Structure 1
Amino acid sequence: MTPDLTKQVLTSTAETVLARRYYLKDSNGNPIETWEALTRRVANAVADVDKDQKHHKQLQEEFFDMIYRLDFLPNSPCLMNAGTDLGQLSACFVLPVDDSMDGIFTAIRNGALVHKTGGGTGYSFSRLRSKNASVRSTQGVASGPLSFAAVFDAATETIKQGGKRRGANMGVLRIDHPDIMEFITAKQDQNSFNNFNFSVAITDVFMQAVEDDADYDLIEPSTRQVVKQLNARKVYEKIVDLAWHNGEPGVLFIDSANRDNMTPQLGDFEATNPCGEQWLLPYESCNLGSVNLANFVVKGKIDYKRLKQIVRSATVFLDNVIDCNRFPIPEIKEMTLKTRKIGLGIMGLHDMLIQLEIPYGSDKGREIAGEVMRFIRDAAEERSIEIAQQKGPFPAYDSAVNAYKPRRNAALTSIQPTGTVSMIADCASGCEPYFSIVMVKHVMDGDRLIMVNRYFEQVARREGFYSAELMSKVADSGTVMGHDEIPVKWQEIFCTAQDIKPEDHIRMQGVLQKSGVDSSISKTINLPNNATREEVKLAYISGYKLGCKGLTVYRDGSRDHQVLNTKEGSEKDQQTAVVSERGPVKQNLPDTLDAKRYRVKDQYQKSVYIIVCFDENEKPMEVFAKFPFDNRVDLKDKSTMWTTTCRLVSLALRFNVPMDEIIKQLDRSSGHMQDLPAQLSKLFKSFLAGTQQGFSSECPECGGPLRFEEGCETCHDCGYSKCS
């Protein structure tokens, strides 16, 4: 079927992302493609695997149609590189790290070649002998996995992936490795291993020891001898503490993953790709794509007939990707062709549920999500079996080991991050709920641009509760919840990531995993800023018991700022606002105030500290800016400007000027997303919303806010993603 090319299928945000990251460019960096041209390039390149077959032309149109209409999108490397000289179409790989200098630096070299072509890498450092273990060849002692992980990190830092994608790594260490405590705390200050996500590979033995409050063994990899014991519950609580602190390390349930290993004769899983959705054997690659569930609701019902057609076509597409791929090293090509694993995932799950008028966090929402994922898995397997009958099963298939019907692909489904890809499709990422329904985008003249979710705007206008004032209120509060103008039914249906209970996030992941996911799921369990360590602990236990193969927990705001509470007195002086006949009077302050310190980055990526002092009702009363090195000559002018701004804001606060008026003036004064007025405005908005979430991490490319979703930080303004 030839699509109607006169119909506009892309949003302006999608066009911006495509022009910036995906379209081919001329020597001056100007795009030379359109969405139609890109789609044709990708469809033809992947269909050409079957160019000698009668159905070749039909396949070209099939692939073109589903991508152009945004029913299915392959991963970013495929969109970027299919039909080009680079031709590397895989998103990520797992590389072995053997316990020798040759093995370690071979892995670093191979990782560099992967990053150069636009892929991400997963490494297990569990084979490396522990710190201070003996090294016979040199009569010395080993420096341990963390010292070598730092070398991997430095190597990644020097390589910009294909000019379009940053280096991204997953570092994994088994819970029974002697250096596990050093690994758990390695990213505590957020200034180390910035090119890595760290996850602990947790075993069933360890989880049982946690439950029993028992000790467990640490095993030296080089000798396989028990060298020490630790109390499992104390180690577990340390993992929880660090995850509560800033979301790392994540946890991977390695035994759960290996129970579903389709080719155990080839070895055990040791690591995942950078976002955790693909467990891979050494040298395997993941070849990913996602079905856009937002496009399959018609008159309040799921169009399963068309969904099956797209899943069948997408399965053929991803299988063909393996054959037309140009792999960065021979070992990866050999292993990928041996198992032919694909990762058919989803995006737009929340869009689908919204159109069905079902809350994401409800039992019904999980029921429908499970049914759809099972349907996709079954349809993909059916098509993979048919391809195997035509082209043969994956070469590693062994009927004596693999107790299932011969199929083309050892693994079929996963749920991966779709950050920039879902921005192209204008839908929610992966299986995540929307992070926000109404967003504010600041433009250079200081005005606010309100961006409203298309479904919410349609409903609000249809139901008669739409207004610019309400949209602004929703944007400032960050949620549709608690606004009297919005009927309770729609508050529940448009409930976002921060509003959904953590246990409902985990239940959704568990249902999807059991229903129809061969590999794993990249999903973030969002917790409110005031979540306790006990809630993080329960999240991990729940995920394990529900059969999840990995888990990422993120407490809102935990990466966004570092807060230092200071109390210089045990008693607070009473304060009262004074008004005279002449007008407002400046409020007197006591000698001692509570304060919080927030670390931010200015537009030059230099650290600045903002200290906010509060009265006993937690109302901001004074603001100070502090540079770490105020004596630097190049900071004097800037320091003076920031200090003056803080004094004026403090004066307004002490005269009881309404905070929304202060915010309005700060927004109008902002010239850059990271200058002081913009930073103060963001902070004060969080105070108004009652969240005190403070500052979001900022996009290194456009200065917009980064959101932690699907185990990765993503900018919804420009499409930048730390992992894709």
Structure 2
Amino acid sequence: MSDHLSQLISRKIWEEKYRYRERGEARDATIEDSWRRVARALAAAEKPECADEWAARFYGLLQDFKFLPGGRILAGAGTRHRVTLFNCFVMGRIEDSIAGIFETLKESALTMQQGGGIGLDFSTLRPRGMVAQQVGAVASGPLSFMHIWDSMCGTILSTGARRGAMMATMSCDHPDIEAFIDAKRDPHALRHFNLSVLVSDAFMAAVEEDSEWPLLFPLAQDEETSGEIIERHWPGSEAPQRCRVFRRVRARELWERLMRAAYDCAEPGVIFIGRVNRHNNLWYCEHINATNPCGEIPLPPDGACNLGSLNLTRFVHQPFTPMASLDLDGLSDAAALAARMLDNVYEASHFPLPQQAAAARATRRLGLGITGLADALIMLGLRYGSPESLRCADEIMARICHAAYRTSTRLAQEKGAFPKLELENYLRAAFVSKLPADIQRDIRKYGIRNSHLTAIAPTGTISLLAGNVSSGLEPVYDWRCQRTVRAADGNPVSYETQDYAYALFRALHGENAPLPPAFVTAAELPPSDHLAMQAVLQNHVDNAISKTVNVPEALDFSAFGDLYLHAYRLGLKGCTVFRPNPVTGQVLSASAPSRPERGCCSLEREAD
């Protein structure tokens, strides 16, 4: 297992996605050159007399895939390419006018051209059939414009840019929410989008009570105030807006429609947006209505965040033995160094738009997380979802979170706090107020460099690069399977892969040795184990978690819907469940090549 690119798919991904080439000539001869390039580029943000020392430390962290920075960092840092090093963006508010819509479309294209994945909230666009009084035209509705974005994304992709990734959100009380929910029933529609419904606490209460739910939209300035009017906080507006009720529906019927669409075609997902905003560290100056393409980074308009994941398999000593252990102190040290490294990305990166640079640098969000969790648990002899595995995961994420926050307070002392810090309000934030006393004391004394520090991304592509370690917090899909990735020419190519822990066990114990009980796949786990793991980790994640609960095709519809209710009751910020179905197929296969990936909506769906 000493070869850093031991699997063919790992080498192919490095060569086609992350190896630096200039005018067709390879500048990175080896993966070590890629690590060295990234380390030097990010160390350049340090004081000149310390840059070499930090470059050496960053290189040590990157070496052997101990730390996996987001794909944009690995591909772009230290190159002459004018690209962004940020994976995650949310576009500015879409103004409800032709000029405003197409201005945001242009800005979206520029962001994606530089490599950013984007989120957009389409709740601000008037519903289909509503009359625009000033021009006398009838609105075509948000869905019609989403198709234009989808075409744009495909066009950007055809120019050779990285795979396009977009998230579209819509409020659960928008008059076109039913059309949004059913949009992916057409297997050819909106293939470059992930879709998520913004579900409020009030809506969940209405579902529980089986009451009526109003579908409404803010009154235009020149609109007559006829009919039922309700005041609501509306996306893109700071103060409550007077909204006209278009009609009322049964909340449970709308919820069941959402569940049925997710059951039949794996989308939309659900974002519990009230919880997202209540637990936002910047609750005092932001209102969030969208996320990055995979949902782990909720962001305000024009917001951005960079990502990185600690590879937990590299912290397991004496795997598959009774003496197996996790180096928690080493993990804490690595998290501290990774936080500093990600903070330096703000100085090293270009931004597609000036307003993105201003918004990002005002908060300096980081998304430090994990990958290889399931493999690490297997190597430790812990069955995924067991009480012992949950306790282990809880301690892992607590160590990472606290190390990152402590580093951020030291960076504030050294380099300054993030500009939007309002100390008393920040310390009152739901997440911050539960941090250890020494961290809160240091925040009060020194401030803090980054508004947010932790997130768990899907890490599909970078986990494949690192020898096919299990992705993010996901359980292992299968020990051997076919993985389909896009080649540089845009065509899908299928590769036979082995899970990292499985390959290591076979290398140590031979092909005929029976697998220990900790070797469990996603198909062998009850869905509740997935949600229990997500809930444990969420306690130490100030952004959010990208998690897909894989369930068998035969799962009963009522049991499927109960998963989303269970996720809400567990306090999660969102939920996505994937059931193989005729629309999407089965993304991975243990015995046969998978279908070509579904635009951005595959297991490698993160901004790579």
Q: Same fold (TM over 0.5)?
A: yes
How far residue 8 of structure 1 moved from its aligned partner, in angstroms, is 3.5
1:664 is matched with none
Contact 1:350 1:432 in 2 (8 A): yes
Is 1:455–2:515 an aligned residue pair? Answer: no
| Residue 378 in structure 1 maps to residue 378 in structure 2 | no
Task: Report 1:527-546 matches (<5 A).
Answer: 527-546=551-570
1:113 is displaced (CA, Å) by 0.4
**Matches of 1:375 and 1:273, distance apart in 2:** 25
Corresponding residue of 2:269: 250
| Paired AA for residue 166 in structure 2 | N
Which residue is 2:109 aligned to?
A: 112
Deviations 1:38-91 (A, max 9, x none): 111111111101143x43221111111111221101111111111123141000
User: Superposition pairs for residues 450-599 of structure 1, below 5 Å?
Assistant: 451-457=497-503, 459=505, 466-467=511-512, 486=514, 490=516, 492-514=517-539, 516-561=540-585
Report whether the alignment pairs 1:71 with 2:66: yes
The one-letter code sitting in structure 2 at the alignment partner of 1:504 is: D
2:76 to 75, 81, 85: 81
Q: CA deviation at 1:148?
A: 1.3
Measure the CA separation in 1 of the matches of 2:202 and 2:466: 43
- 2:388 counterpart of 1:347: no
- Give the structure 1 partner of residue 299 of structure 2: 280
* Alpha-carbon spacing, 1:362–1:556, altered in 2? closer, same or farther (3 Å): farther
Q: Is the 8 A contact 2:83 2:115 kept in 1?
A: no
Which one of 588, 602, 605 corresponds to residue 713 of structure 1?
602
Shift of the alpha carbon at 1:696?
Answer: 3.7
Q: Judge conservation of contact 1:438–1:453 (CA < 8 Å) in 2.
A: yes
Q: Which residue does 2:166 correspond to in 1?
A: 169
Residue number in structure 2 paired with 1:566: none
Whether 2:279 is the aligned partner of 1:238: answer: no
- How many angstroms does 1:453 deviate by? 3.7
Cα RMSD (Å): 2.6
Alpha-carbon displacement from aligned partner over 1:249-285 (angstroms, at most 9, x marks no partner): 1111000100111223333101000011100001111
Percent identity between the aligned chains?
Answer: 36
Matching of residue 22 in structure 1 with residue 18 in structure 2: yes
Question: Do the aligned residues in 2 keep the contact of 1:347 with 1:431 (CA within 8 Å)?
Answer: yes
> Do 2:310 and 2:335's aligned partners in 1 also have CA atoms closer than 8 Å?
yes
Q: Equivalent residue of 2:520, what SS?
A: coil
Matches of 1:431 and 1:268, distance apart in 2: 28
Give, in whole Å, the separation in 2 of the partners of 1:376 and 1:162. 39
**Which sits farther off after the overlay, 156-165 or 294-303?**
156-165
Structure 2 partner of 1:603: none
CA contact (8 A) 2:308 2:342 kept: yes
> Counterpart of 1:394?
418
- C-alpha separation in 2, matches of 1:325 and 1:440: 35
Q: Is residue 2:122 matched to residue 1:125? A: yes
Q: 1:471: which partner in 2?
A: none
State the match for 1:306 in structure 2. Answer: 330
Asked if 1:435 is matched to 2:512, the reply is: no
Q: How does 1:692-711 map to 2 (within 5 A)?
A: 696-699=594-597
1:33 and 2:29 aligned: yes
For 1:328, the aligned partner's letter is: P
Aligned to 1:92: 88
Distance 2:582 2:86 in 1: 32
Matching residue within 140, 144, 148 for 1:147: 144
Alignment of 1:684-699 (within 5 A): 696-699=594-597
Structure 1 pair 137–265 and aligned structure 2 pair: CA distance change class (3 A): farther
Moved more, 354-363 or 336-345: 354-363
Does the C-alpha gap of structure 1 residues 26 and 381 become closer, same or farther in structure 2, counting only changes over 3 Å? Answer: closer
Kindly state the Cα deviation for residue 189 of structure 1 after the two structures are TM-superposed: 1.8
CA–CA distance in 1 between the matches of 2:44 and 2:275?
Answer: 38
Alignment partners' CA distance in 1, 2:268 and 2:33: 42
TM-score, structure 1 length as denominator?
0.72
Change (3 A) 1:161 1:375: farther
2:449 corresponds to 1:408? yes
In structure 1, the partner of 2:133 is: 136
Q: Aligned with 1:230: secondary structure?
A: strand
Please give the secondary structure, in 1, of the residue aligned with 2:260: helix
Deviates more, 1:309-318 or 1:142-151: 142-151
SS in 2 for 1:509: helix
- Deviation per residue, 1:384-406 (Å, 9 max, x gap): 01101111111000124212522
Give the corresponding residue for 1:48: 44
Give the TM-score normalised by structure 2.
Answer: 0.85
- Within 5 Å, give how 1:627-706 maps onto structure 2: 696-699=594-597
Q: Secondary structure at the match of 1:264?
A: coil
SS class of match (2:308)? strand
Partner SS for 2:21? coil
Match of 2:310 in 1: 291
Secondary structure of the structure 1 residue equivalent to 2:118: strand
Structure 2, unmatched stretches of 5+, are 220-241, 319-323, 433-442, 485-493
1:118 and 1:162 in contact (8 A); partners too = no
Contact 1:177 1:221 in 2 (8 A): no
User: Do 1:247 and 1:558's aligned partners in 2 also have CA atoms closer than 8 Å?
Assistant: no
Deviation at 1:9, TM superposition (A): 2.7
Equivalenced residues, count = 551
The CA distance in 2 between the partners of 1:559 and 1:418, in whole Å, is 24
SS at match of 2:256: helix
User: Taking structure 1 as reference, are residues 285 and 235 closer, same or farther at Cα in structure 2, changes over 3 Å only?
Assistant: same
2:383 is matched with which residue: 359, 376, 379? 359
Q: Quote the residue 1:263 is aligned against.
A: 282
Structure 1 residue 189 and structure 2 residue 186: aligned?
yes
1:540-570 Cα distance to aligned partner (Å, 9 max, x none): 00111111111111013454549xxxxxxxx
CA distance in 1, matches of 2:279, 2:57: 32
Instruction: Please state whether the residue corresponding to 2:368 is helix, strand or coil.
Output: strand
Give the letter aligned to residue 395 of structure 1: P
Find the counterpart in structure 1 of residue 232 from structure 2. Answer: none
User: Using the alignment, how far apart are the partners of 1:155 and 1:453 within structure 2?
Assistant: 36
Gaps of 5+ in 1: 1-5, 443-447, 468-484, 563-599, 601-672, 674-681, 687-693, 700-705, 716-720
